[in-house]
């Protein structure tokens, strides 16, 4: 039996619920599922609004969700894939400031693409002069001939129309398949916004002729990173401030929408008036008992990939070169590697970067791109050496793998219709699905977006304020 804030007992008995303690000081009972950035951002905002009648339930034994970190037995700290902190929202800035203060390092991005035997500064399409002559020519010609992309077309068509044949063949197509693990013609291209640098041929030509680097593109060209504890430190600290109303190891296995009751894996139950869910929305539909067939069918149209994060710790001094790099070619299993000791020395044992270095890699998988987990750590380690990220054959001090089954919500062509079916049905029943996989909108899939969605939904349910970030697709 859960005893909620204010000590009011809440329980269910066979055959029906006892509505004990449902309303506290006239405040509706808000239950939040998930202690990731969105759920915690929501909880913090509810507190700020003076709404005390909330409870956050989390399946894991800790907070942070996809943005949590783990320290392995050898003393290396890893994130769930390369996370950098940058923000579009004052709400996220204030939260970061409140919980981290000066305990952050500030970085300028130094990012490259591995192409054959060389490093090309990111973005690839802005720095063609680093490519072998014949490839640079092919890319330049393609850009000049490209008619220009129409964002209402599928991603494969958009890429070719925007960048032409050369850049598409040498970078865009192979790289995007390595990340998304989804054929580009299944994807829409409306999400590209800040995520893909679009360049016209005049700018590319200028770079080629003037031999100048063009590396400042994008919102993450400067970023911060926690001085200790990895990205997860932000949410560990935030959760500590809210811990009285957070319950861990609480896996939601069923939602009874008519009676507004949650059931947990251990058989216990809990009532809500308003449910804010940050679990993947396809799984949410799966546990809502009364979800009609069209909702279940729509949920099947939502596609995602998974990622294996493999971290390799070396007994070799850290190199102060790249922050992270991209790998479009199949010479490595991973699509990205991160120089994790550069983000913070505390990511290696005893913060001793004269002795240790650490590389975090991401390798995607899906039905379209099966990736064997067997031997992946060894393949990744060999890939880091083959790409020249690591020189020589330094002693491997640690190999750590995290399996992230829900990593990227894929913006497929069918996604928006599916979401437009699912969300309204849920909201009519007081269920709000928000966050990276709760909204299933990659274009609002970063930590700052997740926090902002959490803040906005708190304001909506308490004050009736319109949400500023989340909306139905095409609204
Ligand atoms: C490889 C990778 C790289 C990324 N890089 C960046 C980056 O550089 N910068 C950036 O800002 N963001 C990045 N992100 C995105 C960032 O991780 C997410 O934006 C953020 O974690 C989303 O927060 P959320 O609260 O919406 O969801 P989540 O973090 O997924 O949290 C959801 C929570 O719900 C819990 N839950 C799920 N099901 C249940 C259930 N049935 N019962 C109870 N609890 C449940 C989960 O355990 C989890 O804790 C990256 C993500 C990935 C995967």
Tokens encoding 264: 């947990």
Cβ count near 96 (within 10 Å): 20
Residue 66 Cα to ligand 1 middle (Å):
3
Out of 171-175, 210-214, 373-377, 421-425, least confident range? 210-214
**Closest approach atom of ligand 1 to CA 86:** 11
Question: CA–CA separation, 156 vs 138, rounded Å?
Answer: 18
Residue 7 above 50 pLDDT? no
Tokens encoding 388: 């020249």
Residue 36 Cα to ligand 1 middle (Å):
6
Confidence of residue 136 (pLDDT cuts 50, 70, 90): very high
Angstrom distances, CA of residue 158 to CA of 56, 62, 184, 220, 333: 42, 41, 9, 24, 26
Confidence of residue 192 (pLDDT cuts 50, 70, 90): confident
Q: Choose which residue among 61, 447, 449 to substitute to test ligand 1 binding: the one with the highest number of ligand atoms within 8 A of its C-beta.
A: 447
| Strand-pair category, 357-365 with 9-13 | unpaired
Confidence of residue 81 (pLDDT cuts 50, 70, 90): very high
Portions of the chain given CATH number 3.90.660.20: 70-86+223-227+304-410
What pLDDT is attached to residue 23?
A: 56
Is the CB of residue 199 below 6 angstroms from any atom belonging to ligand 1? no
Backbone φ and ψ for 71, nearest 5 degrees, come out as: -105, 125
Residue 440 Cα to ligand 1 middle (Å):
11
Residue 55 Cα to ligand 1 middle (Å):
19
What pLDDT is attached to residue 200?
A: 82
Residue 448 above 80 pLDDT? yes
Q: Choose which residue among 83, 366, 441 to substitute to test ligand 1 binding: the one with the highest number of ligand atoms within 8 A of its C-beta.
A: 83
Assessment of whether the complete model's pTM goes beyond 0.85: yes
Nearest CA to ligand 1 atom 33: 34
CATH of domain 112-210: 1.10.3110
What pLDDT is attached to residue 382?
A: 98
Tokens encoding 303: 């596609």
Question: CA–CA separation, 424 vs 427, rounded Å?
Answer: 5
Q: What is the pLDDT of residues 25-79, one digit of tens each?
A: 689 999 999 999 999 999 999 999 999 999 999 999 999 999 999 999 999 999 9
What pLDDT is attached to residue 96?
A: 97
**Closest approach atom of ligand 1 to CA 439:** 26
Residues forming beta bridges with residue 358, ordered by sequence position: 313
Fold of 2-66+231-302+412-463: FAD/NAD(P)-binding domain (3.50.50)
Q: What is the pLDDT of residues 239-293, one digit of tens each?
A: 999 999 999 999 999 999 999 999 999 999 999 999 999 999 999 999 999 999 9
Is the CB of residue 99 below 6 angstroms from any atom belonging to ligand 1? no
Cβ count near 295 (within 10 Å): 17
What pLDDT is attached to residue 25?
A: 65
Residue 2 Cα to ligand 1 middle (Å):
26
Identify the CA nearest to 381 among candidates 367, 394, 365.
394
Q: With residue 120 as reference, give the H or E element that holds it.
A: strand 118-121
Is the CB of residue 445 below 6 angstroms from any atom belonging to ligand 1? yes
Class of domain 70-86+223-227+304-410: alpha beta
Question: CA–CA separation, 382 vs 470, rounded Å?
Answer: 42
Residue 124 above 80 pLDDT? yes
């Amino acid at each position: 039996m859960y005893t909620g804030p204010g000590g009011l007992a809440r329980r269910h008995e066979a055959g029906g619920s006892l509505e004990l303690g449902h309303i506290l000081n006239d405040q509706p009972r808000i239950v939040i599922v998930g202690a990731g950035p969105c759920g915690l951002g929501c909880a913090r905002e509810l507190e700020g609004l003076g709404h005390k009648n909330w409870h956050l339930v989390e399946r894991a034994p800790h907070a942070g969700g996809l943005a949590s970190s783990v320290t392995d037995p050898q003393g290396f700290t890893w994130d769930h894939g390369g996370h950098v902190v940058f923000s579009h929202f004052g709400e996220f800035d204030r939260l970061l400031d409140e919980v981290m203060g000066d305990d952050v390092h500030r970085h300028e991005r130094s990012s490259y693409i591995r192409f054959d035997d060389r490093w090309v500064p990111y973005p690839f399409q802005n720095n063609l002069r680093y490519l072998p002559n014949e490839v640079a020519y092919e890319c330049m010609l393609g850009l000049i001939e490209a008619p220009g992309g129409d964002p209402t077309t599928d991603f494969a068509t958009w890429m070719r129309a925007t960048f032409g044949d050369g850049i598409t063949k040498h970078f865009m197509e192979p790289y995007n398949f390595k990340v998304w693990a989804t054929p580009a013609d299944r994807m829409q291209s409306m999400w590209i916004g800040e995520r893909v640098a679009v360049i016209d041929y005049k700018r590319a030509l200028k770079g080629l002729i003037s031999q100048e680097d063009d590396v400042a593109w994008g919102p993450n060209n400067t970023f911060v990173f926690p001085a200790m504890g990895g990205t997860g430190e932000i949410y560990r600290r935030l959760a500590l401030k809210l811990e009285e109303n957070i319950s861990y190891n609480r896996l939601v296995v069923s939602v009874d929408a008519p009676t507004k009751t949650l059931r947990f894996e251990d058989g216990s139950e809990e009532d809500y008036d308003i449910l804010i869910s940050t679990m993947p929305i396809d799984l949410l539909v799966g546990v809502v008992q009364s979800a009609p067939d069209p909702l279940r069918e729509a949920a099947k149209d939502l596609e995602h990939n998974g990622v294996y994060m493999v971290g390799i710790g070396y007994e070799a001094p850290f190199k102060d070169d790249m922050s992270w790099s991209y790998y479009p070619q199949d010479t490595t299993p991973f699509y990205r590697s991160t120089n994790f000791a550069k983000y913070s020395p505390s990511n290696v044992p005893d913060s001793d970067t004269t002795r240790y270095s650490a590389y975090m890699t991401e390798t995607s998988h899906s039905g379209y791109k099966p990736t064997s987990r067997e031997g992946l750590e060894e393949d990744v380690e060999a890939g880091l050496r083959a790409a020249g990220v690591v020189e020589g054959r330094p002693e491997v001090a640690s190999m750590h793998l995290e399996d992230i089954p829900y990593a990227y919500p894929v913006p497929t062509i069918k996604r928006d219709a599916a979401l437009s079916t699912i969300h309204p049905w849920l909201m009519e029943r007081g269920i709000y699905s928000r966050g990276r996989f709760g909204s299933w909108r990659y274009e609002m899939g970063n930590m700052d977006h997740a926090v902002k969605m959490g803040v906005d939904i708190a304001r909506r349910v308490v004050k009736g304020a319109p949400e500023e970030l989340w909306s139905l697709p095409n609204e």
